[in-house]
Amino acid sequence: MVITGSLCVLLAVSQAANPLRTAEYEVRPRIHEEFEAKNPELYRLSSAAFRYQLRWLQTDTDSGLRIYEIKFPSARPSRWEVNNTVYATYYEPRQVKGQRVPAVIVLDILDGRQRVARAQALYLAARGIAALTLYLPYYGPRRPGNVRLLSPNLEHTREAMGQAVTDVRRAVAILLSRPEVDPEQLGILGTSFGSFVAALSAEMEPAIRRVVLMLGGGGLVEAYYNHPRVAPYRRIWEALGGTKQRLEELLAPLDPITYASRLRDRQVVILAGKRDEIVPPKAAAALAEAAGAKLIWFDCTHYGAILYFIPAMEICIRQVCRESAVN
C-alpha cells in the first residue's frame, strides 16, 4: 500500500506538471488573398482547415521547457503515402504569465537527421523563444525507400520543393494558432539546404516577418554552373543539348533569388562563410543584394561554420526578438 500510494502521488504530480499528453486541434491558415494570388501555383496554400496532433514528450523540470511531437497532413500530397504526414517537434519555453513569446521554424541541413536543427531549437527555447523543427519531404519517417527530395529528375524535385514550402506554411499556421506565440515575432531559420527552403517559404508566406539564412544563397545556376563539383553533370547536360540559359529557366521556380524582392519589406539577415566551398560566397552576396538583406560574413568554410554556432545563434535571437532585430 505504501508503494502504491507513492506511485499515485508521483503520477498526480506528473500530470499536474504535464496536463496535456495528446490532443488534436483544428487550424485554418490565414490566407491573404491578394498576396496568395501572386504566388506561383507550386507554392500556393489552401485556406482549408486541417487537423494536427500534439503529443507531449518531456518536460525539463529546471528550465520549464516542454517538448512535443506534432503530426499533420501535408498540404501538397505526393504519390507516396508515407511521405504525406509531416512530423515536427515543438519546443515550448517557460512563459511569463500574460506574455507571448517569439517563435521560429527551424529547417535542417541537407543530411536531414535534425541534429543541427535540434541543437538550434534547444538553444532558442532555452532563451525564451518557441521553436519548431520538421522533417521535409522524403526525410526521416517520410522517406519511401531510397527516394530523395533532391533528384536528377527535375520534375520530382520541383514537386518536392512545392510540398516542402507548403508544409512549412502549414507549420506557420500551427504556430499562429498557439496562444503562447506572438504573431508579430514569427521567424524562420534555415541552415545550408534548409536556408533555401526557408527563403522560398518566407517569400511565399507573408506571416514570416523575420528571416535568418545561414550558409545559403541564390542565383543557383550562375553560382554553380562552372563549379568544379558539378562539372561532370554539366558535361552530361550539354551533351544532351542543354544550355546554361535553359537550365536557368528550369530552375528559376526553385531559386530564392527569383522572388527575393518579396523579402525587401521583411527583416532578413544572411550569415555566410567567406571560404564556403559548398555554397559559393557570390551566391550569398547575390541573394542579399536582391532581398535587401543584411549580410554578415564569418571567416570559415561551409563545415567550419560550426565554430561560429553561438555567435550565429545570438544573431538569430536578436533578429527574431521585436526590440533588437539586426539592422
Q: What is the pLDDT of residues 21-42, one digit of tens each?
A: 899 999 999 999 999 999 999 9
Strands 181-191 and 101-107: parallel
Phi, psi of 292 (to 5 degrees): 65, 35
18 pLDDT band, cuts 50/70/90, is: low
So what's the pLDDT on residue 20? 61
322 within 8 A of 291, measured Cβ to Cβ: no
Q: How many angstroms separate the CA atoms of 312 and 216, rounded?
A: 14
Of the candidate ranges 82-91, 115-124, 235-244, 308-317, the one whose mean pLDDT is the lowest: 235-244
Q: Is residue 4 part of a domain?
A: no
Angle between helices 154-177 and 193-204 (to 10 degrees): 60
Q: What is the pLDDT of residues 146-159, one digit of tens each?
A: 999 999 889 999 99
Task: Tell me the CA end-to-end span of the chain in Å, nearest whole number.
Answer: 64
Count Cβ atoms within 10 A of the Cβ of residue 225 and give its class: 0-12 exposed, 13-18 middle, 19 or more buried. middle
Q: How many angstroms separate the CA atoms of 55 and 24, rounded?
A: 9
Reply yes or no on whether the pLDDT at 16 is more than 90. no
Q: Is residue 232 part of a domain?
A: no
Q: Is residue 249 part of a domain?
A: no
Q: Is residue 115 part of a domain?
A: yes
Q: Is residue 112 part of a domain?
A: yes
Total of domains in the chain? 1
Question: What CATH number did the domain enclosing 292 receive?
Answer: 3.40.50.1820
Q: What is the pLDDT of residues 227-283, one digit of tens each?
A: 888 888 899 889 989 999 999 999 999 999 999 999 999 999 999 999 999 999 999
Of the candidate ranges 61-65, 180-184, 321-325, the one whose mean pLDDT is the lowest: 321-325
Q: Is residue 248 part of a domain?
A: no
Reply yes or no on whether the pLDDT at 287 is more than 90. yes
Q: Is residue 243 part of a domain?
A: no
Alpha helices (H) along the chain: 2-17, 33-37, 115-125, 154-177, 193-204, 220-224, 231-239, 244-251, 281-291, 309-320
The Cβ-side half-sphere exposure at 228, using a 13 Å CA radius, reads 2
203 pLDDT band, cuts 50/70/90, is: very high
Arithmetic mean of pLDDT over the chain? 92
So what's the pLDDT on residue 166? 99
Question: DSSP letters along 108-146, please?
Answer: --TT-SSHHHHHHHHHHHTTT-EEEEEPPTTSGGG--TT
Q: Which helix (H) or strand (E) holds 85?
A: strand 85-92
Q: How many angstroms separate the CA atoms of 188 and 84, rounded?
A: 22
Residue range of the domain that includes 61: 20-219+255-324
Q: Is residue 113 part of a domain?
A: yes
Q: What is the pLDDT of residues 299-322, one digit of tens each?
A: 999 999 999 999 999 999 999 986
Place of cell 490532443: 23
- 3 or 293: which carries more pLDDT confidence? 293
